[in-house]
Amino acid sequence: MNTVIDPLLETPIGSAVAYFSVAVLELVVFLAIFEAITRYKCWDEIRRGNLSVAMATGGKIFGICNILRFCIESGSTIYESMLWSLVGFVLLLLAYFLFEFVTPFFKVDEEIGRDNRAVGLISMVLSVALSYVVGVSVL
């Protein structure tokens, strides 16, 4: 399979399509994992207009894509990029659990589910900010 795919990846258009495809696939998979661990249903809440969930989900989307951006920018192969972005996602997931742990006065998921915009904003900024740290450090 590598003998078919690798030559395509050497062309600019093939590389762009491949990385775009990987980004979309990772977003679908990683967001499904986030959906499974949160107490609220992201897309149902967004459909209802819950801005806090939209901010938290948007931060996760940005974080996932930003980590992949660092992988691509480093000149890694698409295979290495997929591996390192998986490592980066696991680190973002750990950060999500740490955020819940370091806020003992309230439950982050419950507050975001109730449309507490302050918590949604902090969650978004945390995902975005940590994606830069993770992105630089995973390679």
CB 96 within 8 A of CB 130: no
pTM: 0.87
**Residue 92 pLDDT > 80, yes or no?**
yes
Structure confidence at residue 110 (pLDDT): 92
pLDDT score for 139: 66
CA 15 to chain centre: 21
Domain ranges for the chain? 2-137
pLDDT in tens, 19-49: 899 999 999 999 999 999 888 899 999 999 9
Indicate if the pLDDT at residue 138 is higher than 80.
no
Q: Residues of 96-112 as b/e, b for ≥16 C-beta within 10 angstroms?
A: beebeeeeeeeebbebb
Q: What is the mean pLDDT of the chain?
A: 90
